[in-house]
Amino acid sequence: MTESGRLAERVLTPDEARVVASWAYDPPFDVYDLSGDDAVAMLLARDERGHGYYPVLQGDDVVVGFACFGAEARVSGQDEHTSTCDVGVGLAPERLSEGIATSLMPAVVRFAVDRFGAKVVRAAVAAFNDRSLRLCTSAGFQRVREFVGPGGRPFVELELVPGRPAN
């Protein structure tokens, strides 16, 4: 079994951002590609609260994924809500289906609560992405609504209220 990744308690470094920006997914998952001139700058952005992109590391320094928090995780078509922390998770294309995200999601939720004071943790997943929808629901997220996101694609909004039992 492959060693699971761990969420680092710091934002991405420029070198790590360049690695993440180089990842390319097969269609239709290419909607998650972060390539382009502005990708590295976007991956390095953070707000005054510390929201932004955090590396998921294997060993001491191998970037196998990232977690993002706040506006960086919010999808076009979602509004900001007080006490809600938007979250997103991405893995290197060659590291998918290794169980990394399954073990990572509880840490992402804890981080959103502990670091950002989230009362509600929210995720948005492209409606076609059954694997990520299953990941979120198995971690305790509940579907809230469907909405039209980037490129006119349907997305599913999911929320988790830490400490509240799942229905």
Tens of pLDDT, residues 24-70: 999 988 888 887 668 999 999 998 898 999 999 998 789 999 999 99
Q: What is the pTM of this model?
A: 0.91
- How far is Cα 56 from Cα 41, in angstroms, rounded to an integer? 18
pLDDT above 90: residue 91: yes
Domains and CATH numbers, the chain: 6-160 (3.40.630.30)
Amino acid 73: pLDDT: 94
- How far is Cα 130 from Cα 148, in angstroms, rounded to an integer? 17
Tens of pLDDT, residues 107-142: 999 999 999 999 999 999 999 999 999 999 999 999
